[in-house]
């Protein structure tokens, strides 16, 4: 049974690569919504980030559209990390799924996939 | 504004704001607002440009004040370094107090009785306003050179008077600094220099150096003033507009709130993890960082805006005026929608009574203890905003929320079935086609084990005991919750999982509704899809 009549929060995370052609410098994560979006609903991507210092976490869709760029402000918060709430445009959701590509950016260094300590989890929330 | 005879301006404000705070707890009444005496203009407008000229005059004066003067330009920045909250629900209100009091100082020192900070609306203008590269409005100006030429110059200039100030702090102030991790002056000063005694060997980490030398005080320049594509995106309608949509000041359940995490004090991190609100986590953070050079300067050190001495850059106050403006937009949106714009009653006391102990007023005096509730309203500083981006989020709903709003109701569990008494009014509102407060159930069930054949579970509401399986066609079916991926439990992962599911929109699920009683008994079960016994461990129903 696939249908879920939820209009609120249901977050399902599939933490394995779902597409065969994900580049090695990103981590690709497939997230599923419980249902197709209804009018007036907004989808949020909750990204739990570890201690990334002044690195940045960049989030794009599978076809390269930017979802957000995350960075910690101040030394203290950079050491602690946190969860960022990133709105997801409805047009980026296909078939009630979102494929997110996650990369770590740092000046002077090539973009790379995050470790599990740098990006700990991703979840979708619908409100 | 007139005050009663014998009433000082201060006591009048305290009284009026206390009243406002009480009224503010209601969902239906607007926060009492005194007519604005000052207007914060968009920096690109004529009013904004006029304000910048006055601002520059005040900065020149503050740069020349002795290092031990409370209005010294750098001393003011240390208030931020020592006390600013980030990643918690005092972020907006603390910065309103900090910027508002400093605005009064600038008004006095500049001699411009109309002064109010202009705001930088980066959603519309994703580049540093050109005038902010003029003279002392950039920290790279030669006027900063005698103080910030290098770290040794800065240390010799500011450290002795700052140490004297530190030694004179009272017990409560030191307690807050302890909470922040500044158990000694030296530990606080390490944030200025970037020295990290925990590194092996202990050394300076240039990325965390809050000090910035004059020549490197701002990464962006007049010839390169633009935010990059990523930061521009974070400041765009695609992020800012959704960032204004949350309907809760703080919502611990869904984590989608206008404010960041609830913490025990504005200097204390949350016990588990910080959840950044969209507006703080993205446009606020990334704009600060990019202006300082994050993403472009390998290894640091960065310009002022990146770390906690960011108020050394005059742009700080335009950036935070815009953040404050967005809080004002969100507040007015909530008022129009009849929604709360402060913490819920149970939280308001602890949030509102949080003391801010480091602010300085326009007379150069320590404000002493002032509290978060003192800065709820822009009336405290008598300003409003020239309209800017985001106003479109304020629109009147078809109807205000009704009395059908209800507090969460926890179910009594018996045999893995929960029963709770729900208000008939709330149910009727829920069943309406255009329900503005639909009811949702939070259902908790155990995670399936590796060996379990069941991954999907159906939530049944009001179903007779004989019904052990129901699909979307059933009036009792609320939805299916599912566990995706491997069932292996990760370290620290709870054995149970909680899901939120809307209650069915079918009257049959609420069979006692027609009896005329004010409340209706409603049962909830969670059964494996395909049929079976309920596995429910807890259930609560609340209105969205």
Instruction: Concatenate the DSSP letters of all residues of B226-244 into one string.
Output: B--HHHHHHTSHHHHHHHT
Cis peptide before A121 (omega within 30 of 0): no
pLDDT value for B162: 98
Q: Is B539 helix (H, G, I), strand (E, B) or coil?
A: strand
* Domains of chain A and CATH, by start: 12-126 (2.60.120)
Q: Shortest Cα distance from A61 to chain B (angstroms)? A: 14
Strands B456-461 and B477-482, bridge-based pairing: antiparallel
Tell me the chain A residues in contact with residue B274 when contact means C-beta distances shorter than 8 Å. Answer: 77, 80-83
Gap between the Cα atoms of B165 and B154, Å rounded? 16
**To the nearest 10°, the Cα dihedral for B387, B392, B395, B401?**
-100
Q: Is B58 helix (H, G, I), strand (E, B) or coil?
A: helix
Whether residue B543 contacts residue B439, with contact meaning beta carbons closer than 8 Å, is answered with yes
Q: Is A125 helix (H, G, I), strand (E, B) or coil?
A: strand
Backbone angles phi, psi at B444, to 5 degrees: -110, 130
Could you tell me the maximum CA-CA distance found in chain A, to the nearest angstrom?
49
Beta-strand ranges (E) seen in B125-185 are: none
pLDDT value for B253: 77
Gap between the Cα atoms of B188 and A124, Å rounded? 38
pLDDT digits (tens, 9 = 90+) for B112-166: 999 999 999 999 999 999 999 999 999 999 999 999 999 999 999 999 999 999 9
Token readout for B28 is: 């239906």
pLDDT value for A13: 37
CATH of domain B409-543: 2.60.310
Nearest to A5 among B231, B288, B478 (CB): B478
Q: How many CB atoms lie within 10 A of CB B489?
A: 12
Indicate the fold that domain B9-393 takes in CATH: di-copper center containing domain from catechol oxidase (1.10.1280)
Q: Look up residue A22 and give its DSSP letter.
A: -
Helix axes B91-110, B73-83, angle to 10 degrees: 170
Is A84 touching B (CB cutoff 8 A)? yes
Same topology between domain B9-393 and domain B409-543: no
Give exposure, B160-196, as e/b (b: 16+ Cβ within 10 Å). ebbeebbeebeeebeebbebbebeebeebbbbbbbbb
pLDDT band at A91 (very low <50, low <70, confident <90, very high): confident
pLDDT value for B155: 98
Give exposure, B353-366, as e/b (b: 16+ Cβ within 10 Å). ebebbbbbbeeeeb
pLDDT value for B530: 80
Gap between the Cα atoms of B344 and B401, Å rounded? 16
Gap between the Cα atoms of B380 and B34, Å rounded? 9
Gap between the Cα atoms of B370 and B344, Å rounded? 21
Would the CB atoms of A32 and B484 count as touching at under 8 Å? yes
pLDDT digits (tens, 9 = 90+) for A32-70: 887 777 788 889 999 999 989 999 999 999 999 999 999
Q: How many CB atoms lie within 10 A of CB A43?
A: 21
pLDDT value for A1: 27
Would the CB atoms of A86 and B229 count as touching at under 8 Å? no
Residue with the two structure tokens 């006095």: B108
Q: Residue A81, by phi and psi: left (phi above 0), alpha (psi -120 to 50) or beta? A: left
pLDDT value for B506: 87
Is A121 touching B (CB cutoff 8 A)? no
Considering only CA atoms, which of B386, B389, B348 is closest in space to residue B244? B389
Q: Shortest Cα distance from A71 to chain B (angstroms)? A: 6
pLDDT value for B33: 59
pLDDT band at A76 (very low <50, low <70, confident <90, very high): low
Gap between the Cα atoms of A79 and A101, Å rounded? 23
pLDDT value for B451: 62
Tell me the chain B residues in contact with residue A97 when contact means C-beta distances shorter than 8 Å. Answer: none
**pLDDT for A10 beyond 60:** no
Q: ipTM of the predicted structure?
A: 0.81
Question: Could you state, in chain order, the average pLDDT of each consecutive group of 10 residues for chain B (544 residues)?
Answer: 30 32 39 79 98 98 98 98 95 98 98 98 98 98 98 98 98 96 96 93 94 98 97 95 94 87 91 88 96 94 96 98 98 93 93 98 96 97 97 68 60 93 85 68 75 74 87 79 46 57 85 81 90 90 77
Token readout for B112 is: 């411009």
Helix axes B46-64, B73-83, angle to 10 degrees: 100
Question: Chain-wide mean pLDDT for chain B?
Answer: 86
Token readout for B440 is: 């949702």
Domain boundaries, chain B: 9-393, 409-543
Nearest to B207 among A32, A53, A70 (CB): A53
Nearest to B245 among A42, A54, A81 (CB): A42
Q: Is B302 helix (H, G, I), strand (E, B) or coil?
A: coil
Choose from A60, A67, A85, A92 for mutation: most chain B CBs within 10 A.
Answer: A85
Q: pTM for the whole thing?
A: 0.74
Token readout for B489 is: 């439990």
């Amino acid at each position: 049974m696939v249908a879920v009549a939820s209009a609120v929060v249901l977050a399902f995370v599939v933490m394995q690569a779902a597409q065969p052609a994900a580049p090695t410098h990103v981590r690709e994560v497939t997230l599923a919504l419980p249902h197709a979006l209804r009018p007036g609903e907004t989808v949020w991507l909750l990204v739990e980030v570890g201690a990334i210092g002044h690195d940045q976490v960049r989030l794009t869709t599978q076809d390269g559209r930017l979802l957000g760029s995350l960075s910690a402000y101040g030394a203290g918060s950079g050491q602690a990390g946190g969860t960022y709430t990133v709105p997801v445009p409805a047009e980026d959701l296909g078939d009630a799924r979102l494929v997110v590509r996650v990369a770590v950016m740092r000046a002077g260094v090539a973009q790379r996939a995050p470790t599990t300590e740098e990006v700990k989890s991703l979840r979708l929330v619908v409100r | 504004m007139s005050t009663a005879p014998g009433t000082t301006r201060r006591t009048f404000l305290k009284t009026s704001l206390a009243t406002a705070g009480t009224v503010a707890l209601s969902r239906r009444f607007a926060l009492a607002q005194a007519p604005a005496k000052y207007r914060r203009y968009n920096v690109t407008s004529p009013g904004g440009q006029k304000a910048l000229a006055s601002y520059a005059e005040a900065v020149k004066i503050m740069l020349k004040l002795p290092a031990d003067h409370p209005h010294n330009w750098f001393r003011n920045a240390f208030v931020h370094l020592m006390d600013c909250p980030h990643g918690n629900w005092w972020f907006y209100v603390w910065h309103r107090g900090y910027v508002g009091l400093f605005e009064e100082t600038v008004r006095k020192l500049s001699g411009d009785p109309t002064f109010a900070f202009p705001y930088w609306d980066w959603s519309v203008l994703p580049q540093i306003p050109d005038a902010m590269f003029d003279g002392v409005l950039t920290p790279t100006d030669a006027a900063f050179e005698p103080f910030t030429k290098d770290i040794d110059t800065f240390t010799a200039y500011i450290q002795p008077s700052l140490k004297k100030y530190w030694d004179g702090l009272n017990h409560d102030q030191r307690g807050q600094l302890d909470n922040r991790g500044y158990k000694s002056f030296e530990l606080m000063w390490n944030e200025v220099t970037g020295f990290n005694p925990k590194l092996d060997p202990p050394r300076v980490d240039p990325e965390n150096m809050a000090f910035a030398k004059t020549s490197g005080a701002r990464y962006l320049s007049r010839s390169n003033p633009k935010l990059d594509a990523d930061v521009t995106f974070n400041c765009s309608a695609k992020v800012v507009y959704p960032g204004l949509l949350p309907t809760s000041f703080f919502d611990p359940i869904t984590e989608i709130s206008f404010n960041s995490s609830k913490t025990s004090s504005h200097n204390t991190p949350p016990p588990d993890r910080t959840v950044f609100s969209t507006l703080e986590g993205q446009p606020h953070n990334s704009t600060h960082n990019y202006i300082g050079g994050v993403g472009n300067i390998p290894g640091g050190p960065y310009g002022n805006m990146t770390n906690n001495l960011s108020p050394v850059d005059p742009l700080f106050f335009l950036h935070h005026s815009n953040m404050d403006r967005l809080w004002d937009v969100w507040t007015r949106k909530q008022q129009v929608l009849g929604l709360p714009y402060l913490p819920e009653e149970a939280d308001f006391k602890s949030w509102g009574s949080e003391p801010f102990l480091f602010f300085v007023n326009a007379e150069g005096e320590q404000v002493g203890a002032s509290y978060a509730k003192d800065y709820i309203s822009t009336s405290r500083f008598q300003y409003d905003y020239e309209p800017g981006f985001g106003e479109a989020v304020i629109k009147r709903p078809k109807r205000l929320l009704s009395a059908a709003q209800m507090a969460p109701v926890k179910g009594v569990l018996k045999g893995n079935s929960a029963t709770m008494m729900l208000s008939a009014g709330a149910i009727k509102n829920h069943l309406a086609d255009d329900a503005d407060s639909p009811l949702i159930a939070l259902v908790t069930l155990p995670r399936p084990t590796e060996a379990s054949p069941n991954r999907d579970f159906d939530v049944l509401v009001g179903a007779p005991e004989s019904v052990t399986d129901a699909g979307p066609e059933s009036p009792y079916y609320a939805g299916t919750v599912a566990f995706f991926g491997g069932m292996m439990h990760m370290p620290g992962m709870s054995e149970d999982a909680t899901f939120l599911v809307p209650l069915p929109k079918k009257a049959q699920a609420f069979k006692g509704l027609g009896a005329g009683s004010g409340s209706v008994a409603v049962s909830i079960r969670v059964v494996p899809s395909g049929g079976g016994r309920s596995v429910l461990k807890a259930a609560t129903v609340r209105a969205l």
